[in-house]
Chain A
Amino acid sequence: MLDLTYETPKPKVIAGAKHDWELVIGLEVHAQVASNAKLFSGASTTFGAEPNSNVAFVDAAMPGMLPVINEFCVAQAVRTGLGLKADINLWSAFDRKNYFYPDLPQGYQISQLYHPIVGEGEVLVELGDGTARLVRVERIHLEQDAGKSIHDMDPNMSFVDLNRTGVALMEIVSRPDIRGPEEAAAYVVKLRQIMQYLGTCDGNMQNGNLRADVNVSVCRPGDYEKYQETQDFSHLGTRCEIKNMNSMRFIQQAIEVEARRQIAIIEDGGEVVQETRLYDPDKGETRSMRSKEEAHDYRYFPCPDLLPLEIEQGWVDDIANDLPELPDEKKARFISDFGLSDYDASVLTAETAAAAFFEKVAEGRDGKLAANWVINELFGRLKKDEKEITESPVSPDQLGGIITLITKGDISGKIAKDLFEIVYTEGGDPAEIVEARGMKQVTDTGAIEAAVDQVIADNPAQVAKAKENPKLAGWFVGQVMKATGGKANPKAVNEIVAKKLAD
């Protein structure tokens, strides 16, 4: 396998009024586990159901109801951990995080504070300019999502929808290894890509299935390196946590805005207060979520309703053996096996569906040619129609058929584009279409010779000129192509014209 090696990117530097400042960023990504049932109940997780229709007794915290762990969700967390090359903890445990809110029926969230199921891992974040950052993942733990409070439906009342209550989340916590807004967004994109490959989270940010809490601090150039040497956080600035970001664009904006806010405070001689903040995209600012008086004491303690979660190495090994090829591996293979460029390989491996489509097209054919057709023609055409690859009217077999016709010399590149449009809009077998509509290149030398002879016979003056200046042969080729409606094989026409003119 090809080894992907990259330069380390430079940290983002913001010039303050007095000094330069660098950014230090860590992310807590909340990824909804792709599972039909909730973490501790059999209730459905289908998005968009009638409010309060996907609610089991335990989700509504009815008296005496007890949680029972959903083994599939555990497997999904393990799968995610393995995908991030992380340590899997065979012994983990659930804790209760206690706080009151109407969309939290139990009065506590079951989470894993002290003993998470997944330990240290890593994510390679490529930035597309030949640089990449290896971001360390500290841990992944399983926890319950809360429900949804709706405050704007009635002037006097609030409503609660418990459909999301108890849905399984993976909280993926990174180390403070991210050094700029673009890196942060690229990290989330990469995590999402890996989880989509693994089938452990659909990554849909609009539905809230992937959210991020972003920790931002600033430090002077050189301080981060001191932190790296010692792992002593005192070299870094005080961080603020921006909660619940659900778009890549907002993540970048919020980081930039928050960093500038902190720099201004420090340069004015003030101190950054560690707190949770919200990003307001309309105003382009972050603001404090709660005051000190309301600071939560979550009173974490081990959940007595659940035994520690003990899993066996053999079970983990089975999951590991079933792991699909991951983005980095697939990209490396596309580069080495198909001779693709780094860029093309990245584009084609962004989503598993596109990669699978490409691989079917490229099977037994020229990889680079297949990549060009998939990226330029197919993706371009789909984008025009706002269609996903999974909705493509052209199947891999059909596109492959078109490419085969090109490489066999049956059609020219130009005809191939016309053919692609026909297949895209009307469907059908490319070879049959070419046959039925007479789009095939004429390779029958007899027919081409006849056409050439005719052009020569019709244009004696040109023949005379061409005999003195062989460059004029092109004019004859053009005439022959015209006479054959573009179907003559250009290579054959060239050869015959050259031969006849030389006679």
Chain B
Amino acid sequence: MSDLNKLTLADARDKLRAKEITSVELTEACLSAVEGGKTLNAFVHDTPDLALEQAKAADATLAKGDAPSMCGLPIGIKDLFCTKGVASQAGSAILEGFKPEYESTVSQNLLDAGAVMLGKLNMDEFAMGSSNETSVYGDVVNPWKVDDRNLTPGGSSGGSASAVAADLCLAATGTDTGGSIRQPAAFTGIVGIKPTYGRCSRWGVVAFASSLDQAGPMTKTVRDAAIMLEAMCGHDAKDSTSVDMAVPDFEAALEGDIKGKTIGIPKEYRMDGMPDEIEALWSQGTEMLKDAGAKIVDITLPHTKYALPAYYVIAPAEASSNLARYDGVRYGHRAKLSQGDGITEMYEKTRAEGFGPEVQRRIMVGTYVLSAGFYDAYYNRARKVRTLIKKDFEDVFAQGVDAILTPATPSAAFGLGEMKDADPVQMYLNDVFTVTVNLAGLPGISVPAGLDKQGLPLGLQLIGKPFEEGELLQFAHTLERAAGFVAKPEKWW
């Protein structure tokens, strides 16, 4: 059978169990797709030997029957996850040569579920970016193209998005601090879900902003997202912020009916200068859910406009502290020192060489907002805003709203290099629809819902109640079926 790499997780799983295909065949198909997709610069550390070894083991397990949920399914892992014995650099020069002696809980959960790891995926450095242009490995290219222009896959999980959209792997892990799963998913026509904060363990995931970071799956379909999320999440005593709650059967939750459920449409997400196509897509999505039996209500989330500034205080503040450990003392890059250089020079040179400009910018912003005399004006105020934003959502859910529908991004994918000279704030505006969800700790999913005039995919975002990922996936599944999005990028790479 050809093009096994194009299968969804669900289809591949069923074929493996029906003994129509083997994991080794499936893995080899993906490995050759990875090899053929080098132009996209999505995979940055390939692990073909490990993958084939895992595939063989999976086949043996499948032969015995009673295989775990993701047995034999080849996936890619974002470089932010520490993977035992495999380079884990968070897309940064400062972690050059770093091979952890431990496996992150999420990737271990996936391995325990039988998944096959093809390699590590490119990303913005330390997950800071919305275009995957800040990586030490270079830009990731979106498989979707307009004319001859190379487009961004979005960021920071750009490698994951590009790899899944281009069928290099069946699915991939992502992480989302301010939209890093949902925005690239929308830019590449795939599904990406950021679960409720606390659902997935952060243990072994290189920290960006600890109170916002969450791992999640990036997949070809909503069903695949349900399958993979269930394998990824669960309580982990090693992460104090991980929630001790049973993990529901997310795939089974897809089958329900959304009749009588209430969808909120927040007026604050109707931004000035929003492209008509996005506006139109949003209306279409609303109609689709209405047609499926949902009640549509207009809602207000009054503090939305403060979300982006609050996010760009809190996230850099936490990052400035989280990234202090990259000091050249114990692992990763250490600058060559001159005679007479002391500790301070070691820090300054190492960090100047090891961190790219965007990471340096955020460290400086974060350091500034936490410094004496500015703490209350910035960090404390941002925390208050965060509380208000959380309350906005709580109020709406208390009024009977089951989920909220918004656009995922303010635009379709833009050209690589197009924003290079722009004010960094312009780039930050990419996160305008997604950061509120991180600040409130809620689950959010991006579902491909249509194409723009240029033929580029656009996504809609659904925001759910805390720990109601099952219900959220059900809404997403309904939207996915109604939108009938089947477009694929034309293979040019």
Mark A residues whose CB is within 8 Å of B: 57, 60-69, 96, 98, 100-102, 105-108, 158, 160, 297, 299-301, 304-307
Contact = CB atoms under 8 A, between A and B. Distances in A.
Contacts of A63: 82, 88, 90, 95, 98, 100, 206-207, 325
Contacts of A105: 325, 329-330
A107 B325 contact: yes
Contacts of A106: 324-325
B370 A66 contact: no
B358 to A, nearest CB: 18
B397 interface: no
A64 B168 CA distance: 27
B321 A108 contact: yes
B422 interface: no
Contact of A307 (B101, B241, B324, B330): B241
A164 to B, nearest CB: 16
A98 to B, nearest CB: 5
B104 interface: yes
Contacts of A60: 330
Contacts of A100: 324, 327, 343, 347
B210 interface: yes
27 contacts: A61-B325, A63-B95, A63-B98, A64-B104, A64-B203, A64-B207, A66-B202, A66-B240, A67-B240, A69-B240, A96-B321, A98-B320, A101-B343, A105-B330, A107-B321, A107-B323, A160-B329, A297-B372, A299-B372, A299-B375, A301-B318, A301-B375, A301-B379, A304-B209, A304-B318, A305-B240, A306-B241
A107 B320 CA distance: 10
Contacts of A300: 370
Contacts of A160: 329
Interface string B66-104: 000000000000000110000010100001001011101
Interface of B: 81-82, 88, 90, 95, 98, 100-102, 104, 202-207, 209-211, 237-241, 317-318, 320-321, 323-325, 327, 329-331, 343, 347, 367, 370-372, 375, 379
A66 B238 contact: yes
B336 to A, nearest CB: 15
A3 to B, nearest CB: 46
Contacts of B324: 98, 100, 106-108
A67 B324 CA distance: 16
A301 B372 contact: no
Given A69-B240, A96-B321, A301 B370 contact: yes
Contacts of A301: 317-318, 321, 370, 375, 379
Contacts of B320: 98, 299
B240 A307 contact: yes
Given A64-B207, A98-B321, A301-B375, 9 more contacts: A62-B331, A63-B88, A63-B100, A64-B104, A65-B203, A66-B238, A68-B237, A96-B321, A98-B324
B350 to A, nearest CB: 11
Contacts of B370: 98, 299-301
A309 B203 CA distance: 19
Nearest to B90: A63
A304 B317 CA distance: 11
B347 A68 contact: no
B136 to A, nearest CB: 15
Nearest to B332: A63
Contact of A64 (B205, B329, B343, B379): B205
A108 B318 CA distance: 12
A66 B203 contact: yes
A98 B363 CA distance: 13
A186 B486 CA distance: 80
A364 to B, nearest CB: 51
Given A299-B370, A301-B317, A304-B211, A64 B240 contact: no
Most central of A105, A297, A299 by chain B CB within 10 Å? A299
A168 to B, nearest CB: 16
Closest 5 CB pairs of A and B: A107-B324, A304-B210, A299-B370, A304-B211, A61-B325
Contacts of A158: 343
A308 B467 CA distance: 20
Contacts of A108: 321, 324
B212 to A, nearest CB: 8
A299 B343 CA distance: 20
A344 to B, nearest CB: 50
A48 B202 CA distance: 34
Most central of A62, A68, A69, A306 by chain B CB within 10 Å? A62
Most central of A66, A68, A160, A306 by chain B CB within 10 Å? A66
A252 B238 CA distance: 45
A301 B204 CA distance: 23
Nearest to B242: A66
A98 B321 CA distance: 7
Contacts of B239: 66, 68
B240 A62 contact: no
Nearest to B203: A66
A306 to B, nearest CB: 5
A62 B102 contact: yes
Given A57-B102, A63-B82, A299-B367, A102 B202 contact: no
B241 A297 contact: no
A111 to B, nearest CB: 13
Nearest to A102: B329
Contacts of A101: 343
Contact of A306 (B81, B104, B240): B240
B203 A107 contact: no
A384 to B, nearest CB: 50
Contacts of A64: 81-82, 100, 104, 202-207
Contacts of B325: 61, 63, 105-107
A42 to B, nearest CB: 10
B203 A102 contact: no
Contacts of A107: 321, 323-325, 327
A429 B320 CA distance: 70
Contacts of B237: 68
A102 B327 contact: yes
A398 to B, nearest CB: 50
Contacts of B371: 297, 299
A307 B239 CA distance: 10
Contacts of A96: 321
Contacts of B327: 100, 102, 107
A69 to B, nearest CB: 7
Nearest to A68: B240
A358 B343 CA distance: 55
A398 B165 CA distance: 85
A132 to B, nearest CB: 40
A151 to B, nearest CB: 10
A421 B321 CA distance: 64
A62 B241 CA distance: 18
Most central of A67, A107, A297 by chain B CB within 10 Å? A107
Nearest to A106: B325
Contacts of A57: 101-102
Contact of A61 (B330, B343, B372): B330
A100 B367 CA distance: 13
Contacts of A306: 240-241
A96 B320 CA distance: 12
A301 B241 CA distance: 17
A215 B102 CA distance: 45
Contacts of B331: 62
B327 to A, nearest CB: 7
A325 B95 CA distance: 54
Contacts of B379: 301
A69 B102 CA distance: 20
A306 B102 CA distance: 21
A483 to B, nearest CB: 81
A58 to B, nearest CB: 9
A42 B256 CA distance: 45
A365 B172 CA distance: 79
A489 B102 CA distance: 79
B321 A299 contact: yes
